[in-house]
Amino acid sequence: MEKIVIIGNGISGITAARHIRKLSNKSITIISAETDYFFSRTAIMYVYMGHMKFEHTQPYENWFWKKNRIDLVKGYVSNIHHKEKKVLLDNNKEIAYDKLIIATGSKPNKFGWPGQDLDGVQGLYSKQDLDALEKHAPNKDICKRAVIVGGGLIGIEMAEMLRSRNIPVTFLVREDSFWNGVLPNGESQMLNEHIREHHIDLKLKTNLAEIRSDENGRAKAVVTDSGETIACDVVGLTAGVSPNINFLKESGIELGRGVKVNRYLETNIKDIYAIGDCAEQHESIGNRRPIEAVWYTGRMMGETIAQTVCGNKIEYKPGHWFNSAKFLDIEYQTYGWVFSERGMKEYEGHFHWRHSSEKLCITVAYHKETKQFLGINTFGIRMRHQLFDKWLTEEKNIDQVMESLKDANFDPEFYAQYEQEILSKYNSDFSKTIKPKKKSLKHIFA
């Protein structure tokens, strides 16, 4: 029986294991140093906030693994001997494999800041990070202030977490507006406002210079590049993540920032594959980045690699880009590509609408010459993935999308509808006279 070993029990590794089991009878072993069982990393914020208990973040009951003959090993892989086809654990135990899948995910970035390894300084990625935050910031008396460094998706989640326990938060963001390397200005501005209305002390255009230590080696203050000193008990480092591959340095596997893989997710060494956050494509796929640290791309790579490992070799071919996030109370979804002013293609045009009082807005990207619909960002209005995926494949033009926008609405029943208002703004911005099409269940479910 062929022996498959997977390093990492995150979404990528687990998806691979589940699909290999569906397709075959191979022996499957998953090694993780983080937790005994798979949990949903995206949900750790809700554990700290008290929305869920940690066990609720585990999508499968504990009996699931045994029943599906997936062996779980708790241990830290210190090296791989690919010539002997063996994985070495740090307790000197060895595990032999026929095929090896590396799915070790990411670790929070640290950019060599003075004090970055002090007690009370942490990222927010792993179960251990969650435990550390519970220890250092259990309430507002023990943690009188927290400083978060890095204005991205994790940063704002961490701010929300701490605010749920009424801990004052200072949020240092390098850019002149929150996440505006990714989001167009209008959206980024709206989020600045929303962050501040949640009483988060947002400091834009501010970098971390140094973290000061108290006599016990614990963080006690942050110094910014403008020379300001902010007393704090916890420092959150949330300036992105990078592949967690240090243990592979001696392995002979080709590394860049991540584990280098081709479109079949194969590394330079036969029978060793890499998937998920830790994999780095030799060449970007479309507009995607070579390393994609996104939940669903990890899942898709897991689905793909399972096919390859089980004899049906196929390329990793992600479809149209999509993603989602939640900024405090504002839900965000994106389908296709909408770039910020900084990353915008020269052919890319934008239509932007924002509600006069509510925190709702959308941005639609289109091709200036062909008028082809390129993508949409939507804040506070849920939209239907299937439909946008279809429209992107069919290369609809922006007018067609705007007139059928009602079909794409995915908000709960009885919610106020804004398509009429959006369309009027579109018509007046572009001097058009487009009329909305009636909502059609046929189009939606076709």
Kindly list the residues in this chain that would bind other proteins in the complex (CB under 8 A): 11, 22, 40, 42-43, 46, 49-53, 56-59, 61, 134, 138-139, 164-166, 197-198, 295-296, 299-300, 303-304, 307, 312, 314-315, 317-319, 322, 324-326, 328-329, 331, 333, 382-386, 389, 410-416, 441, 444-445
Cβ nearer to other proteins, comparing 123 with 298? 298
**Nearer of residues 26 and 443 to other proteins, judged by Cβ:** 443
- Least Å distance, CB 51 to other proteins, is 4
The least distance separating other proteins from the CB of residue 414, rounded to whole angstroms, comes to 4
The distance of closest approach from Cβ of residue 41 to other proteins in the complex, given in angstroms and rounded to an integer, is: 9
- CB nearer to other proteins: pick between 9 and 224: 9
Beta bridge partners of 74: 32
User: Residue 89 has what DSSP assignment?
Assistant: E
**Closest approach of Cβ 271 to other proteins, in Å?**
22
- Cβ neighbours around 329 below 10 Å, total: 11
CB-wise, 199 or 257, nearer to other proteins?
199
* 8 Å CB contact between 419 and 401: no
**Of the two residues 15 and 122, which places its CB atom closer to other proteins in the complex?**
15
Per DSSP, the three-state class of 163 is: helix
Answer whether 244's CB lies under 8 Å from 278's CB.
yes
We find the least distance from the C-beta atom of residue 55 to other proteins, in angstroms, to be 9
CA atoms within 13 A on the CB side of 172: 23
Q: Which is nearer to other proteins, 199 or 282 (CB)?
A: 199
The pairs formed by 381-387 with CB atoms below 8 angstroms and a separation of 24 or more are 381/409, 381/411, 381/418, 382/331, 382/333, 382/409, 382/410, 382/411, 383/333, 383/335, 383/408, 383/409, 383/410, 384/408, 384/409, 384/410, 384/444, 385/322, 385/333, 385/335, 386/444, 387/443, 387/444
Compute the least distance from the CB of residue 208 to other proteins, in Å.
28
Output the CA torsion 238→244→247→249 (10° steps): -100
